[in-house]
């Protein structure tokens, strides 16, 4: 099996910024409450004419440029998203078309905020077996369109954005994606979901009025689940790959809530300074979060050759995972 490496990263956030004070002007909340509970100060909101594939396109072009790859050379395009441009066809198909990736087959991955890890896992299997030579993996979300702006308990969290990665066979042994372990638990499906608009509860005037096509979340339960699940996932992956936690130089985590991340890292004993944090600026951008954070750290020159990176994410499902990358 071939080893798989990330050879290019890119990211994009829309230009419009929504601050906590902007939110406080339209609902009963405050900058202090939001920042203290979540670490969020601002989030970016897409323009009305932008769709998820537009955000994905901007991030992908950057990643391709860094990878020195033409879109026409791509063999596979994966988009992790809960906010595709339309119900069908997949967002990845729209993206591949916009890129001119004529050789690539394309499909979406649905694992909510953990989607980019699930997509990375699928992509790496295709490359490892030799089925394809490269994959564009994108996490892109336009969460402002599925946010229930009448719910102060969840609407404060979300933002729009995209992150992209180009994956290809590693050129040197020992570098690249060392491991990726994924988990799902559907018994917790109701603590974070969009209940309407699917086959269970199709859209009706009543379900639309009840905001069933928007995110519904029991925040405290999500918080507790996330901490327990990710602590277990990290401890297992490090143990099974005969590494020690102290060898990890960087933590690239889904930016759901900075308090969740603090609790996880404290429990497993990784210094918080090793985590790359941008949630104060972007909020929770779901599947975009990990590749966006990875791209920022990469472009800032913070990731050095052979550094060990821990990646982790959790989202609706619940779906979650942890991975180890030797940069």
**Can you give the binding site for ligand COA, defined by CB under 6 A?**
29, 33-34, 37-38, 113, 152-153, 156-157, 217, 219-220, 222-223, 256-257, 260, 284, 314-315
The active-site residue out of 148, 257, 284, 298 is 284
Active-site position among 91, 113, 212, 276:
113
**254 classed as catalytic:** yes
DSSP state of 186: G
**Could you say which of 213, 250, 254, 276 is catalytic?**
254
Is 193 one of the catalytic residues? Answer: no
Residues in Cβ contact with 278 at an 8 Å cutoff, skipping those fewer than 6 apart: 255, 292, 293, 296
- Minimum CB distance to ligand COA smaller for 50 or for 221: 221
323: its two tokens: 């991975």
The distance of closest approach from Cβ of residue 157 to ligand COA in the complex, given in angstroms and rounded to an integer, is: 6
Q: Which of 294/313 has CB closer to ligand COA?
A: 313
Burial of 41 (0-12, 13-18, 19+ CB in 10 A): middle
- CB-nearer residue toward ligand COA: 33 or 183: 33
Cα distances (angstroms) measured from residue 239 to each of 15, 179, 267, 294, 324: 42, 12, 16, 24, 12
Nearest CA among 161, 194, 146 for reference residue 289: 161
CB of 221 to ligand COA, least distance (A): 8
Residue among 146 and 178 whose Cβ is closer to ligand COA: 146
Ranked by CB distance to ligand COA, the top (closest) residue is 219
Long-range contacts formed by 93-97: CB under 8 A, 24+ apart:
94/51, 94/53, 95/53, 95/56, 95/57, 95/60, 95/138, 95/140
Paired sense of beta strands 319-326 and 308-315, if any: antiparallel
Q: How far is the CB of 222 from ligand COA (least distance, A)?
A: 4
What is the nearest approach in angstroms of ligand COA to the Cβ of residue 111? 11
SS3 69: coil
91 is catalytic: no
Report the residue number, 188 or 314, with the smaller CB distance to ligand COA. 314
- Bridge partners (DSSP) of residue 252 are 311
Measured between alpha carbons, how far is 145 from 154 in angstroms, rounded to an integer? Answer: 13
Strand partners, 109: 80
Question: Is the peptide bond prior to 89 cis by the omega test (within 30 degrees of 0)?
Answer: yes
Nearer to ligand COA, 30 or 129 (CB): 30
Question: At closest approach, how far in Å is the CB of 27 from ligand COA?
Answer: 7
Please report how close the Cβ of residue 202 comes to ligand COA at its closest, in angstroms.
Answer: 25
- SS3 of 201, please? coil
List active site positions. Answer: 113, 254, 284
């Amino acid at each position: 099996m071939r080893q798989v490496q990330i050879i290019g990263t890119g990211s994009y956030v829309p230009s419009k910024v929504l601050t906590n004070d902007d939110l406080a002007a339209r609902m009963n909340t405050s900058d202090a409450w939001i920042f203290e509970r979540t670490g969020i100060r601002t989030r970016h909101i897409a323009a009305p004419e932008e769709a998820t594939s537009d955000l994905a396109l901007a991030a992908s072009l950057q990643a391709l440029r860094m990878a020195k790859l033409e879109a026409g050379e791509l063999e596979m395009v994966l988009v992790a998203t809960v906010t595709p441009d339309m119900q069908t066809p997949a967002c990845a198909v729209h993206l591949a078309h916009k890129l001119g990736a004529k050789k690539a087959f394309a499909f979406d991955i649905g694992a909510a905020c953990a989607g980019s890890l699930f997509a990375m896992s699928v992509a790496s299997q295709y490359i490892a077996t030799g089925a394809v030579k490269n994959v564009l993996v994108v996490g892109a979300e336009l969460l402002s369109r599925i946010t229930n702006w009448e719910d102060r308990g969840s609407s404060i969290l979300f933002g729009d954005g995209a992150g992209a990665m180009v994956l290809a066979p590693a050129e040197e042994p020992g570098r690249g994606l060392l491991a990726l372990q994924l988990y799902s638990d559907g018994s917790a499906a109701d603590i974070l979901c969009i209940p309407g608009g699917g086959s269970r509860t199709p859209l009706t005037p009543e379900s639309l009025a009840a905001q069933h096509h928007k995110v519904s979340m029991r925040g405290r339960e999500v918080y507790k689940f996330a901490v327990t699940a990710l602590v277990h996932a990290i401890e297992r992956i490090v143990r099974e790959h005969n590494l020690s936690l102290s060898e990890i130089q960087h933590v690239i985590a889904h930016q759901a809530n900075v308090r969740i991340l603090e609790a996880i890292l404290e429990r497993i004993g990784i210094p918080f300074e090793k985590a790359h944090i941008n949630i104060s600026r972007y909020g929770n951008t779901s599947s975009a979060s990990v590749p966006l954070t990875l791209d920022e750290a990469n472009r800032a020159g913070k990731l050095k050759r052979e550094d060990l990176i821990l990646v982790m994410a959790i989202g609706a499902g619940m779906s979650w995972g942890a991975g180890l990358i030797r940069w």
